[in-house]
Amino acid sequence: MTDEDYLETAHAEGYLPIDEYELYYRRFGTGDDVVLGLHGGPGMPHDYLLPLSRHGGSERRVVLYDQFGVGRSDGPVPGDFDRYTVEHYRDEVEAIRRELEPENFHVYGQSWGGMLALEYALEYGDRLSSLVLANTLADTASAYESMRSHVEALADDDLEIVERCEGRRAYDDPAYLDVLDDVYRSHVCRLEEYPDPVRRTLSNVNEDVYGLMWGPNEYVLLETARLRGWDVRDRLGEIDVPTLVLTGAHDEIDPSIGADIADRIPDATLVEFEESSHMPLWEEPEAHTERVERFLAEGR
């Protein structure tokens, strides 16, 4: 699929002023309610979230944006990484809400965006109407163990390439990238051909953000990573808005992690997409759209 499949519909785009910088956004729909999409990464532009545009209309706006330092949004001066923190990105969501002035505010967070959505719900829950947590995690350790297990399960020859390249920190070695691409195609997006917005997102990751907060890729969590040790599982019971938790049967983040999140949030519903991995919005688009739309329409 191409951008035209989603961008041919009426929409607006521009820049939101946030403090002393601006964030690039796209808006679909004209309603008073807002669904804000939080992209993954950290550092991945929002393009792959374009299927969420289908939820915009006369009663609801869908707003997709690139987080600070990502895509077409403003970034820091060279060498300044102080804003690349969970706290900054969480407070950025609240600044966007204030700028949009929604009647009802719904947040859809995918992967890292789901972590950010949890942080927002725990800090600003009284401003939130509902929450969609897609293919995400509530603690770094168990999710990393799950993701790394897919690498450890590779055939011996492939695993030898991984270990050799990682031992030399040769994370851009073509042989290493080829092996990881096989893991991606089994556990990140199982489509035979990546749609254009997915390809563009994966080609434009801000490696500074990703590397500082996680590592060279999701299968290597650095000791110095700012997200190492992140864990909000014991606080999930504090979330008191209707929540939809989405996972895929083949997700690199094991579905049991999504199930555990749903169990801990009092008013949560879990949906597992049987033919999907980390991107059900592309792998099973109709089923994903129907389930999210039903959740939003129910006022949940």
The whole-model pTM stands at: 0.96
Q: Transcribe 33-96 into DSSP letters.
A: EEEEEE--TTT--GGGGGGGGGG-SSSEEEEEEPPTTSTTS--PPTT--TT-SHHHHHHHHHHH
**8 Å CB contact between 17 and 90:** no
Nearest in space to 40 (alpha carbons), one of 82, 72, 70: 70
- What are 127's two structure tokens? 């401003």
- Among residues 46, 55, 187, 278, the one annotated as catalytic is 278
**8 Å CB contact between 38 and 113:** yes
- Between CA 123 and CA 39 the distance in angstroms is 19
**8 Å CB contact between 136 and 255:** no
Q: Is 278 a catalytic residue?
A: yes
CATH number at 47 reads 3.40.50.1820
- Among residues 47, 208, 251, 254, the one annotated as catalytic is 251
| Residue 296, φ and ψ in degrees, nearest 5 | -70, -40
- What are 93's two structure tokens? 């969501």
- Among residues 73, 111, 146, 277, the one annotated as catalytic is 111
- Half-sphere CA count of 275, side-chain side, radius 13 A: 9
Range of the domain at 119: 4-297
In order along its 300 residues, the chain shows pLDDT tens digits of 556 677 777 789 999 999 889 999 999 999 999 999 999 999 999 999 999 999 999 999 999 999 999 999 999 988 889 999 999 999 999 999 999 999 999 999 999 999 999 999 999 999 999 999 999 999 999 999 999 999 999 999 999 999 999 999 999 999 999 999 999 999 999 999 999 999 999 999 999 999 999 999 999 999 999 999 999 999 999 999 999 999 999 999 999 999 999 999 999 999 999 999 999 999 999 999 999 999 999 875
Contacts of residue 142, defined as CB under 8 A and 6 or more positions apart, other chains included, come to 257
Q: Is 251 a catalytic residue?
A: yes
Number of domains forming the structure of the chain: 1
- What are 119's two structure tokens? 């942080």
